[in-house]
Structure 1
Amino acid sequence: MARAQGARAQMALAFETSYGTPPAGGFTKMPFASTTLGSEQPLLNSELLGYGRDPLAPIKDAVTADGNVVVPIDAAAFGFWLKAAFGAPVSTGAAPGTFTHEFRSGAWSLPSMSIETGMPEVPRYAMYSGCVLDSLSWQMQRSGLLTATASLVAQGEAIASTSAAGSLADLELQRFGHFNGAITRNGQPLGNIISAEITYANNLDRVETIRSDGRIDGADPSIAALTGKIEVRFADQVLVNQAIAGDPCALTFAYVLPSGESFTFTAHAVYLPRPRIEIPGPQGIQATFDWQAARDATLGRMCTAMLVNDIEEY
């Protein structure tokens, strides 16, 4: 008897034309490291009395479908997650050649996706329809594997023994690494950074209407949030002075491959809190800034993500 193995698992993604309705085609095979995407329906214990000490049968509660997907930050497939986070990009370039995709925050509506996870050896194929991206986060550090976590809210799950996505070709994987990363502040390199965290959240509001199938009616974006943390080796007063003054700065987190592909994420108006500077011992002094971004009055948006690759459109 075949047993499910994570090494054989697969994932396919397609954007929906109508929320909650999986498209007939157009799926793309996606690289991923792990996923908790799933659907659950808890049971409610009976509260009724008068039938003895043994309880009556439980009843089913509403369906909840959500979870996280850990994906590599690469030059091609990561664009699908950026589109889910910000909406369709403004793309420039001519085929064949290099294309620049600019994703901007502030869109009033977000695209929904159908995501299929498959375990071919069982076989079990789960189609999650109405997937909307709630948040996208990643870390920058000196070494290790560079991944991002996409948190999703879905409408429901459908199980089948065959794949609805069909047989798909692999995307060419051109993965960024921590070695390719750099951070700038107002266009100038920002030194002494130990690590950085970035989280963009759409803060989805689930539309929990009364339905016979127990599913939600949608997931609407509310006020977005862009937050993070930078840990620095304390060497100068630049960031502390900015925090005391209360002035914003632009922080850019960028990755560039030698072949020319790049991913650049810019928070246009970042505000820093005044940190506590401690001396814990004889080692180097470090300071942590839990920053948050806001809408830049000049550009009219909070952040911009730029992806340069050979993909014509998303």
Structure 2
Amino acid sequence: MARAQGARAQMALAFETVYGTPPVGGFTKMPFASTTLGAEQPLLNSELLGYGRDPLAPIKDAVTAAGDIVMPIDAEAFGFWLKAAFGDPVTSGTGPWTHEFRSGAWVLPSLSIETGMPEVPRFAVYSGCVLDQLNWQMQRSGLLTATARLVAQGETVGTVSNAGTPALIDLKRFGHFNGAITRNGTGLGNVVSAQIAYANNLDRIETIRADGRIDGADPSIAALTGSIEVRFADSTLVTQALDGDPCELEFAYVLPSGESFTFTVHAVYLPRPRIEISGPQGVQATFDWQAARDSALSRMCTATLINDREEY
């Protein structure tokens, strides 16, 4: 009997035209490292008395479908997750194309995501997926991945794939070695690590339904936060924190072949950090920053992806 193995797992996604309705075609095979996406339905213990010490049968509660997907940050596939986070991009160029994803969209697209374990066989389709959070970390070494947290409407499980023959992607993966951070257009030195977290703060529409599913997930006030850990070499960031003025931070990755991903946070506010001397080693400081809407651009951040894909 075949047993499920993560090495044989596969994933495909497609954007929906109608929320919660998986499209007939148009799926794309996606690279991923791991996923916790799934549906669960807890049981409610019976509170009734008068039938002895042994409890009566439990009752099913509402269905909850959600989870995380860990994926590589690459030159093409990552654009699907950026579209899920920010909406349709503004695309320009004639090849390579520049896709500009802007924060602040009132309506976010929904996706259908299929995860498959062919050897069982088990193919689960999660419809009505809306991206709640997207985060990643910059550091000197290691594998560069991002984590997307999704809220789904429900799960449908079958023994055959509903994705047909998904389109393939030419994987061109960014690495930490390709990364750089700038502040107001100037390289920011002495950075040990950085974290970026964008949240749509979805509001689940939990109406009464016979199937126990949600009616949707609407975005509320977005949040963009993170942290920068630096070797304490000058007072540039501390001075900004004391003055209360914003700066622009840009987190960028560029491949030698020309593809690039740039995440620009237009108005970053820094808190006053505690500078600790914990020993004879170098002194480090951590700034837990917050972003806000830039009045000149009317948005909080811009994610720019340059690649050979014409549209998303």
> Normalising to structure 2: TM-score of the pair?
1.00
Residue identity in the other structure for 1:269: A
Structure 1 residue 93, shift from structure 2 partner: 1.6
Where 2:71 maps in the other structure, the secondary structure is strand
Stretches of structure 2 lacking an aligned partner (at least 5 in a row): none
Residue identity in the other structure for 1:211: R
Name the CA distance, whole Å, in 1 between partners of 2:242 and 2:216: 42
Where 2:151 maps in the other structure, the secondary structure is strand
Match of 2:186 among 162, 174, 188: 188
Where 1:230 maps in the other structure, the secondary structure is strand
Name the CA distance, whole Å, in 2 between partners of 1:138 and 1:4: 29
Aligned to 1:33: 33
Where 2:140 maps in the other structure, the secondary structure is coil
Structure 1 residue 169, shift from structure 2 partner: 4.2
Match of 2:121 among 95, 120, 123: 123
Structure 1 residue 166, shift from structure 2 partner: 1.2
Contact 2:104 2:300 in 1 (8 A): yes
**Could you give the per-residue CA deviations for residues 202-258 of structure 1, whole angstroms, max 9, x where no partner exists?**
000000000000000000000000000000000000000000000000000000000
How many corresponding residue pairs? 312
Aligned to 1:106: 104
Where 2:76 maps in the other structure, the secondary structure is coil
Name the CA distance, whole Å, in 2 between partners of 1:169 and 1:43: 39
Aligned to 2:91: 91
Aligned to 2:62: 62
Aligned to 1:132: 130
Contact 2:27 2:167 in 1 (8 A): no
Residue identity in the other structure for 1:189: G
**Could you give the per-residue CA deviations for residues 176-215 of structure 1, whole angstroms, max 9, x where no partner exists?**
0000000000000000000000000000000000000000
Contact 2:190 2:230 in 1 (8 A): yes
Q: Please provide the CA RMSD for this pair.
A: 0.5
Name the CA distance, whole Å, in 1 between partners of 2:61 and 2:17: 29
**Percent of residue pairs identical:** 81
Structure 1 residue 168, shift from structure 2 partner: 2.5
1:4 aligns with 2:36: no
Name the CA distance, whole Å, in 1 between partners of 2:22 and 2:237: 48
Residue identity in the other structure for 2:9: A
Residue identity in the other structure for 1:126: A
Residue identity in the other structure for 2:247: C
Cα 1:169–1:220, aligned 2, differ >3 Å: closer, same or farther?
Answer: closer
Name the CA distance, whole Å, in 2 between partners of 1:188 and 1:300: 23
Aligned to 1:45: 45
Name the CA distance, whole Å, in 1 between partners of 2:265 and 2:43: 44
Residue identity in the other structure for 1:301: R
Stretches of structure 1 lacking an aligned partner (at least 5 in a row): none
Aligned to 1:268: 266
1:151 aligns with 2:142: no
Aligned to 2:75: 75
**Could you give the per-residue CA deviations for residues 2-32 of structure 1, whole angstroms, max 9, x where no partner exists?**
0000000000000000000000000000000
Aligned to 1:296: 294
Name the CA distance, whole Å, in 1 between partners of 2:138 and 2:15: 29
Contact 2:26 2:166 in 1 (8 A): no
